[in-house]
Structure 1
Amino acid sequence: MKKVSLFLVSALLVMAGFMACEKSDKTSDGTARMQLYLTDDPAQYEKVLIDVQKIEIHSDVDGWISFNILKPGVYNLLDFTNGLDTLIADITLPAGKISQMRLILGNNNSVVIDGVSHPLATPSAQQSGLKFNIHQDLQVNGSYKVWIDFDAARSIVVQGNGNYSLKPVIKTYTELTDGRIKGIVLPLTARPVVYAINNTDTSAAIPNAAGFYLFSGLPEGTYKIWIDGDATAGFSDAVIENVTVRFGVVTDVGITTLVP
């Protein structure tokens, strides 16, 4: 009986050890903090108004998880260009991998053009949400900042009947995947639009009232900066070649003066 009892005790201790190891290996036993910021690439509209109500994140641990927005309501995406952003959620997630997000919208979505407000049709966005990818491995007790970056110019589509719809082009990036280029273009009478071009994509920026522009969330690589001056106002374009982008660094291309 002693031998049997000792065997059972030993077996139970081994099983307990396996269970403890298995438990410690699961990232679901801990949590991570995530702060979500809304930002935007500029567009030639007066306002792009999006009614943000909730956000849902897909966790490999718990599936889809729904979170409230800090201030649910209408956001003008064009308020958050050239490096500006706004915090929309500060949440706690189970540690582990996340793969997708969904923005759940309300009904008050519109675009303002020449002082006229046009409703934005958002098929299924109120129910299923605007879905986009985010691949991030959240470590236990980690803290993460994630930017949700709309491309307003590409996201607004004119329908055949003259109405407008929202077909969002969205990217996400973190502090570790945030390549940036900044510069200044003068004079503003040239009505410049700035493009950052590499082998895979083109991003656009419209300088602010001081001529400042900033690209954010760019992949690493070599870019061409194309500054498009308004030909109808008599201004030529300008090009800056071989601009290097590295994560964690803001590449300053300086001041560009457009000439007639």
Structure 2
Amino acid sequence: MKKFKLKVLGIFAMTLLSLSLFSCDDNGNDNNNETTSRLMVKMSDAPGDYDEVNIEVLDVMIKANSDSGDDGWISIGDKTQVGEGKIYDLLKLTGGTNIMLTDSLVPSGSLGQIRLLLGDENTVVVDGEKFALTTPSAQQSGLKLQVNQTLIGGTTYEFLLDFDVDKSIVTTGSSKYILKPVIRVSTMEASGVIKGIVSPAVDYQVLASVQQGEIIFSAFATMDDKDGDSNDGDGTFQINGIPSGTYTLTLTPDPTSGKTPITVDNVIVYNGKTTDVGSVAFP
């Protein structure tokens, strides 16, 4: 792991000079807004049936083209954490919560790929027991995500990396878990959001989902554990990265609750906007 971190630091050092040309002034303004764009990369979670899924993020990198080689990558991660890593529990990213991986000024023009570099301090908690998440050697160079977006100078772009936990963790038996990240990338400009609230909040898990063809977009509603804890959820849910269109929203409760799924028809999603379906209650 030390050798890998040094390699990341080397890449960062080589690109620091070029990135310094695209800095802000003392008032936080873009000094060169015709040749730079603001790029925000956030991460959220598609649901998974685990207690915790802890992922170590080392860096975020970008590349102008779609070439699969290792040349031409630029580090845009948090400069205080490049090569050090920060660990996030993906299962806390529910109810519309996400985390900002980077908010940077980058050269305008073609953006071919985003690269997410993960460390090896990844773990999963199952029934209260923690297990290491082994990362295959093929994934250690970083997960490359094709975006193929043209960045216009002076414009802000927000990319959302939706980490599909259920598909990303493979178990081989004998309590061995392997991390093979499956991430869907979307932009605010080319997708929309559905949000709402299960009210009153319930103490069982509720999955909010819509489907386009074979693709399912989903998120858990936050739960009220009925214990008075300040961390209890209020029943909110938010599904990100949905292409524009008309959908049927399905709210599926945990089977042990004894409740049956309910649907909300004709939910219209617009690119770059949030559709609020309001309060939904189980009978």
TM-score of the superposition, structure 2-length normalised? 0.73
1:233-248 matches, cutoff 5 A: 233-248=257-272
User: 2:236: which partner in 1?
Assistant: 212
How far is 1:45 from its partner?
1.8
User: How far apart are the structure 2 equivalents of 1:220 and 1:112?
Assistant: 36
| Partner amino acid, structure 1, of 2:190 | T
Query: Which has the larger share of helix?
Result: 1
3-state SS in 2 of match to 1:224: strand
3-state SS in 2 of match to 1:107: coil
User: 1:69: which partner in 2?
Assistant: 78
Q: Does 1:171 align with 2:181?
A: no
Aligned 8 A contact 1:47 1:78 in 2: yes
User: 2:60: which partner in 1?
Assistant: 55
User: How far apart are the structure 2 equivalents of 1:184 and 1:164?
Assistant: 34
Q: Does 1:203 align with 2:224?
A: no
User: 1:85: which partner in 2?
Assistant: 98
User: 2:273: which partner in 1?
Assistant: 249
User: 1:139: which partner in 2?
Assistant: 152
User: How far apart are the structure 1 equivalents of 2:97 and 2:62?
Assistant: 24
User: 1:8: which partner in 2?
Assistant: none
Larger Rg: 1
Describe the shift of the 1:114–1:97 C-alpha distance in structure 2 as closer, same or farther (beyond 3 A): same
Describe the shift of the 1:100–1:221 C-alpha distance in structure 2 as closer, same or farther (beyond 3 A): same
Describe the shift of the 1:141–1:256 C-alpha distance in structure 2 as closer, same or farther (beyond 3 A): closer
User: How far apart are the structure 1 equivalents of 2:272 and 2:156?
Assistant: 17
User: 2:226: which partner in 1?
Assistant: none
User: 1:97: which partner in 2?
Assistant: 110
| Partner amino acid, structure 1, of 2:74 | I
Q: Does 1:34 align with 2:39?
A: yes
How far is 1:94 from its partner?
2.3
How far is 1:126 from its partner?
6.3
User: How far apart are the structure 1 equivalents of 2:118 and 2:56?
Assistant: 5
Query: Which has the larger share of strand?
Result: 1
TM-score of the superposition, structure 1-length normalised? 0.79
Aligned-CA RMSD value: 2.4
| Partner amino acid, structure 2, of 1:243 | V
- Which consecutive residues of structure 2, in runs of 5 or more, have no partner in the other structure? 1-33, 223-232
Aligned 8 A contact 1:105 1:125 in 2: no
How far is 1:234 from its partner?
2.0
3-state SS in 1 of match to 2:271: coil
Percentage identity across aligned positions? 36
For this pair of structures, how many residues does the alignment match?
231
Describe the shift of the 1:221–1:77 C-alpha distance in structure 2 as closer, same or farther (beyond 3 A): same
More displaced stretch, 66-75 vs 213-222: 66-75
- Which consecutive residues of structure 1, in runs of 5 or more, have no partner in the other structure? 1-28
3-state SS in 2 of match to 1:35: strand
User: 1:24: which partner in 2?
Assistant: none
More displaced stretch, 218-227 vs 145-154: 145-154
3-state SS in 2 of match to 1:128: coil
